[in-house]
Amino acid sequence: MSISSINKIPFAIHQTSSVVTANEHDNDESSNEKDGTSVSISPESWQKLKESEEEKEAKLNTLPKHIKDMIKAIERIKEQIEMAEEMLAKAKEADYSDEKVKKAVIDSQQSFLNSLEIARFDAIQALQDAMKEAGIEDVSIITDLMS
């Protein structure tokens, strides 16, 4: 879901003692088992979300293949960034026998994360250029990838 479409969906967060699970047919509540927080989404809001996702999918289907491929590549880089951030957090929390080893591991993970961020930035720049050449002026595609 894009940031631009999240503001269109009213929802409420409730503290509950019981846990409610969400499924495809009853999408008005979901929960977080860890802290007992549930999020309620009205059926109308759920429909709006579904429609906005369908509109986004339709918009992406009209793009040229090379631009779709670039978007998929950027999404893969974003997934790698998330994994690298998790690895960095684990490295910071891990116990090491030597502080030099800990510093080297953390520095290595941070360097890897930085290189992924640079790759994402470069890929987004290339996508912007490709979209400009193709005459596509929809910036929502870029903003979704930058979040």
45 or 76, higher pLDDT: 76
Higher pLDDT pick, 137 / 34: 137
Evaluate whether 83 touches 65 at the Cβ level (below 8 Å).
no
- Asked if pLDDT for residue 10 goes beyond 50, the answer is no
Q: How confident is the model at residue 55 (pLDDT cuts 50, 70, 90)?
A: confident
Note the pLDDT of residue 126. 95
By CB neighbour count within 10 A (0-12 exposed, 13-18 middle, 19+ buried), where does 78 fall?
A: middle
